[in-house]
Amino acid sequence: MTDKYLTALGEYVISKGLNIYEIATVTGDNPPEFIRIKSPNWCNDIYSITKVFTTTAVMMCCEREILTVNDRVCDILADELPEAGMDPRWQDVTVHMALKHRAGLPGGHLDADTRDARTFTTDWLRYLFKTPLEYTPGTSEGYSDGAFYLLARIVEKVAGEDINRFLWHELFYPLKFQEVAWQKDPQGHPNGGSGMFMQASDVAKLGAIYKNGGVYQGRRYLTRESVDTVLGRGYELHVRDRESGIYGKGGMLGQNLIILPKADRVVAYTGCGDNGAASDWIMKHQEF
């Protein structure tokens, strides 16, 4: 039986005619519940919520002591650097800077969702490294998918397998994800900044891990320290209301992952063109 909160949210979405496909909730440590309002696809693009999955993979690598957030990008990917034409300031970029969009890249860089991906050539990493940095790394912020494509390649380098394969055995399979597809570059490397397709109920499971301090349904996926690092430093999961402690991550065209700690609830939804009305309702109705 669908819980009253999810039913009420669904009724609100329908009454407002919001273009939302699917809504899922996780309450406490329970399995997700979901409703499909209008779902043209079994899975839908979650766009920039993808970055939370990439962040999670980075933290898992840090826990395994094969990576730290203070490592320099050029040290990790030394074998991948172009021989010439590279901004020397790349040598100062760290994993932490990439996680905070402070690597110096122009805002919106490597956005395969809105630009012709052929612009990036067949070698996205080489294209990225030959991009002139817009500012000195660490001094300012420029939100881009490029920083997270870079992080996905870093995970691949240190883990010895691409980030999609890594997350399948570390996260997706044990969490019983129904289905996952991931946009890849011409060489087959997943785009860590966007392009993941999945069900809202599986997105909600990731939110539950963070809400529960790294644990979901009896299994630990992240240490408490990793969760605190992600939330404390704002690695993609950002506070939306400081007083109530609500935090989350949105994606293009109105995708949302919203974590409500006081209500012990996670809400995730997919759609196309949501104007923010659904997230406003969620923010105002923590308890139901």
Rounded to the nearest 5°, which phi and psi values hold at 101? 55, 40
For the chain, 288 residues long, give each residue's pLDDT as a single digit of tens.
468 999 999 999 999 999 999 999 999 999 999 999 987 788 999 999 999 999 999 999 999 999 999 999 999 999 999 999 899 999 999 999 999 999 999 999 999 888 888 899 999 999 999 999 999 999 999 999 999 999 999 999 999 999 999 999 999 999 999 999 999 999 999 999 999 999 999 999 999 999 999 999 999 999 999 999 999 999 999 999 888 899 999 999 999 999 999 999 999 999 997 778 999 999 998 876
Q: Whose CA is closest to 265, among 244, 238, 248, 286?
A: 286
Q: Whose CA is closest to 133, among 87, 100, 170?
A: 87
Q: How far apart are CA 271 and CA 23, in angstroms?
A: 9
